[in-house]
Structure 1
Amino acid sequence: MQISSNEIAWRGGKVVLVLPLPGVKQTPPDSPQLQALYAKLEGARSGGAAVAPRLPAADYHQCPRGTSVRWYCFYQNRDWNENVAGRRLQWSDPHCDEVMDFEVYSFAGQTSSWVNTGFLEVTVWDDSVHRLWTEAPNSLSAYVGSSNNDQARFFEACA
């Protein structure tokens, strides 16, 4: 579903793609509509009404970190798209029983940096299903390295 002019969501809002706007040199902050989606997911997970996620003071490079909903994000460019406009693809749910294919979201061969604000361990593979890297819970990487850059094709996220 289209959330805003530059945001698309799948799987009930548990997968989000944020796109840069044409002519803009940096990826814009999350729209009010996307922030409302985060609040709705927080409320559903905590069993209450939609609430705005409380974010800690730490900088997660626009990768959300709610109280009960944690996210893991993949960025098109190194340094979390901070110096150039780029796409961000993010998930909030575990995927232990199914390997996710970046190609479904037009993101295969696009990852240069990542953030994992959650409790899951994320493992990423290339086209040949060779492990590229593993993301520990509550970790991040400004650059996946020259040998892994733009090689990600599949991932799994498990507790």
Structure 2
Amino acid sequence: MIAKVTLGLLLLGTMALAAYACRWLWLKSPYGRMACVVGIAVVGYQAWNAVFPPSSFYRDEFALRTGIAAPPSARFVFKHASFPDLHGDYAAECLFRVSKADYAWLARAAAIPADGEKRSEYGLYRSQAEAAYGGVLRAVVRGQIRARAGDQHGGWALLDDGKTVHFWFVQT
């Protein structure tokens, strides 16, 4: 509890200092105004990307966790990620559609049959993913994440429609 209060006070102090510096720059000259506007734009852009990660985040996450580069034909149908907390805990999940050739290539790369399971395993935001998909996520082939630590869970699956991939990763 004390750590959260300390962090909150540090954040408030930093924001107050930034506001004071921005006001000082604004009153100083036109260049100060420009520096202030550019600073606000840069911080705003970074904050937006932290809360709403771009598709490149999911491509990079898929490549990092599976050891397989996301196919260039990948088009995202569903994306969701939680913002990492103080301990680095976060979750990322996505559905993307690929060409038939890339689907076949991913099936060879995964090569782990799903053993007739009814649903794609896990997925923290599965109900939202199923809503975006338009039905139950039925896995045909399952892939694993690589070099996972004890606090990491995830995987990926090729779905039975022949074009969709479900990827999820959770770090607790």
TM-score, structure 2 as length reference: 0.23
Which is helix-richer, 1 or 2? 2
* Structure with the greater alpha carbon radius of gyration: 2
TM-score, structure 1 as length reference: 0.25
Which is strand-richer, 1 or 2? 1
